Amino acid sequence: MEYRDIIQGGMKLEEHMHALKLIKEEVLVLSSEKMELEALCKELSVKVQSLYRELEQIQSENKQIPAIREGLHDIQEEISRARMAYEHEKRAKVELLEGSQAIESDFINIKIEAQRLRTELEKRRSRVFKHHAFGSYYKKIEHGIASSNW
């Protein structure tokens, strides 16, 4: 009976050892999973820290948005003023060009008129010169006076 109790006790121990062996294998698997999860947790922790840094950077950049918008608004106003000035200068240039063309046209007309007047003056001078310079001589010849003086 004692042997039987010992054998049954040994069998129970063997069953317990077999059960413990399964539990040990399960503990090893769980321990391995725990290590993987801890590594994954560290990796995720690093990613979370990186995301927090990005979030802080984005928040910092977002704080600058109003100043950037204001600067953009100022630039848009400056561009608008520059466009208006450009259009004004463009219109002024057209007006100056038209004025210049009008002046040039007037100059050409005055030059033509002056040439016409010079020509007319030359014609009159040549007539006057003939009458005054040679006029008295020709008149004397016509009247017969010139032959008596010579």
Q: What is the DSSP letter of 144?
A: T
Domain boundaries, the chain: 2-143
pTM strictly above 0.75: no
CB atoms within 10 A of CB 138: 13
Mean pLDDT of the chain: 86
Cβ–Cβ under 8 Å, residues 128 and 137: no
Number of residues that make up the chain: 150
Look at residue 43 and tell me whether its pLDDT is greater than 70: yes
How confident is residue 131, by pLDDT bands cut at 50, 70 and 90? Answer: low
In whole angstroms, give the CA distance from residue 111 to residue 73: 56
How confident is residue 17, by pLDDT bands cut at 50, 70 and 90? Answer: confident
3-class DSSP string for 46-70: HHHHHHHHHHHHHHHHHHHHHHHHH
In tens, the pLDDT along 46-91 reads: 999 999 999 999 999 999 999 999 999 999 999 999 999 999 999 9
CA geometry: angle 22, 28, 30, nearest 5 deg: 100
Look at residue 140 and tell me whether its pLDDT is greater than 70: no
- Tokens, residue 81: 């003023």
In tens, the pLDDT along 115-126 reads: 999 999 999 888
Give the DSSP per-residue string, 99-135: HHHHHHHHHHHHHHHHHHHHHHHHHHHHHHHHHHHSH
Residue 150: its pLDDT value, please? 42
Cβ–Cβ under 8 Å, residues 140 and 146: yes
Residue 5: its pLDDT value, please? 87
Amino acid symbol at 121: L
